[in-house]
Amino acid sequence: MTLPAKVKTADRLNQRGIKPSVQRLAIYENLLGRLDHPTADCVWEDLIERIPTLSRTTVYTTLNLLCDKGLVLVVLGDCDKIHFDAITTQHAHFICAGCKCILNVGETSLVAEDFQIPKGTKIMGIKVCISGYCVQCLKEYDR
């Protein structure tokens, strides 16, 4: 059952002009299989046992490559840490100031026209980020 999914992932990389090496596939599949917006280090930690030859640099460069090709999005977390997201359709995020978790919280109806953007500016998209404390943290710290 895992094989068809693998072929599909490889196809996606090929379509964007990325050679689907074993390591690249593993990195992209890792990201596709999770919703927690990991940092490059988190992805590396997840894979290093299975692929002992995988370097942190490879994970960084691969994630940046996937970003450049539009397969992965960057989410700036708390403290400006770079997190990665395999969901590339526009959606808003909630970032917890306590545990730093990043949750997908649905689509946003905001449009560029809602803002005072100088005429002639090229809009690439709207990133919505809500900050606060998640339910778990509120329970733990009784804030």
Residue closer to Zn ion by CB (options 58, 83) is 83
Shortest reach from residue 76's CB to Zn ion, in Å:
12
8 A C-beta contact, residue 9 and residue 25: yes
8 A C-beta contact, residue 56 and residue 40: yes
Footprint on this chain of Zn ion (rule: CB under 5 A) = 85, 96, 98-99, 104, 134, 137
Residue closer to Zn ion by CB (options 22, 126) is 126
8 A C-beta contact, residue 84 and residue 44: no
Residue closer to Zn ion by CB (options 20, 98) is 98
Residue closer to Zn ion by CB (options 18, 96) is 96
Shortest reach from residue 7's CB to Zn ion, in Å:
25
